[in-house]
């Protein structure tokens, strides 16, 4: 398909605009998309890794990365199982193996929190560990509720919630 603007080059960018409920698709070549009025983005063949690098707050310039590695070549941590480094992870946009999560946990945790908005899993709970996890989540929610009741000065309600927390913690302690 040819670019809808210049009609000369191959269209490799699709821009979808929705204005007042009307959706309009525009197919442009890389040059026309880069110079399109009202669009503020850079088209780059490595868009996903560069996006992740920007999200992670890392330098996107390969030259700067090379300088950093030249200054501190021994400080580059490498996964013991697959041999991938953190800089390679940021360039590829994916981890090499399951051990990478443990190896780079100190670097990955703040990034994942920033991307996902938190560090607590909020999805389905596996059946085999379900009871323990559900109790832990329930205790956490009850503690939050207790804080709210104390702030509202609803001490009668707070006593009931406190007793429920104690009951759940004692039951949990007895199982372990």
Over residues 57-92, the pLDDT tens digits come to 554 444 344 444 444 444 678 899 998 888 888 777
Angle between helices 155-175 and 130-151 (to 10 degrees): 160
Residue 166 has pLDDT above 90, yes or no: yes
Q: What angle do CA 72, 48, 75 make, to 5 degrees?
A: 10
CB 43 within 8 A of CB 30: yes
Q: How many CA atoms, within 13 angstroms, populate the side-chain half-sphere of residue 122? A: 6
**52 lies in the same domain as 103:** yes
pLDDT on residue 144: 93
Q: Where are the beta strands (DSSP E) in the chain?
A: 13-19, 22-28
- Segments forming the whole domain that contains residue 58: 47-116
Domain total of the chain: 3
Per residue in 97-123, pLDDT (tens digit) is: 889 888 888 888 887 777 777 666 667
pTM here is: 0.34
41 CA to centre of own chain: 21
- 53 with 102, same domain? yes
Tell me how far apart the alpha carbons of residues 108 and 32 are, in angstroms, rounded to a whole number: 37
Predicted pLDDT at 61: 44
Tell me whether residue 125 is in a domain: no
Q: What is the mean pLDDT of residues 135-154?
A: 91
């Amino acid at each position: 398909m040819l670019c809808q603007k210049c009609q000369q080059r191959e269209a490799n960018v699709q821009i979808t605009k929705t204005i007042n409920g009307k959706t309009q698709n525009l197919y442009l070549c890389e040059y026309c998309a880069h110079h399109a009025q009202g669009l503020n983005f850079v088209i780059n063949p490595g868009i996903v890794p560069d996006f992740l690098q920007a999200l992670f707050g890392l330098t996107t310039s390969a030259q700067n990365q090379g300088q950093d590695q030249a200054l501190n070549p021994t400080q580059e941590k490498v996964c013991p199982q697959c041999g991938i480094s953190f800089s390679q992870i940021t360039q590829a946009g994916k981890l090499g193996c399951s051990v990478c999560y443990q190896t780079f946990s100190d670097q990955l945790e703040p990034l994942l929190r920033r991307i996902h908005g938190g560090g607590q899993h909020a999805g389905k709970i596996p059946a085999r560990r379900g009871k323990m996890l559900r109790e832990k989540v329930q205790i956490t929610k009850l503690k939050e509720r207790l804080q709210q009741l104390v702030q509202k000065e609803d001490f009668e309600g707070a006593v009931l919630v406190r007793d429920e927390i104690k009951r759940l913690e004692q039951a949990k302690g007895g199982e372990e």
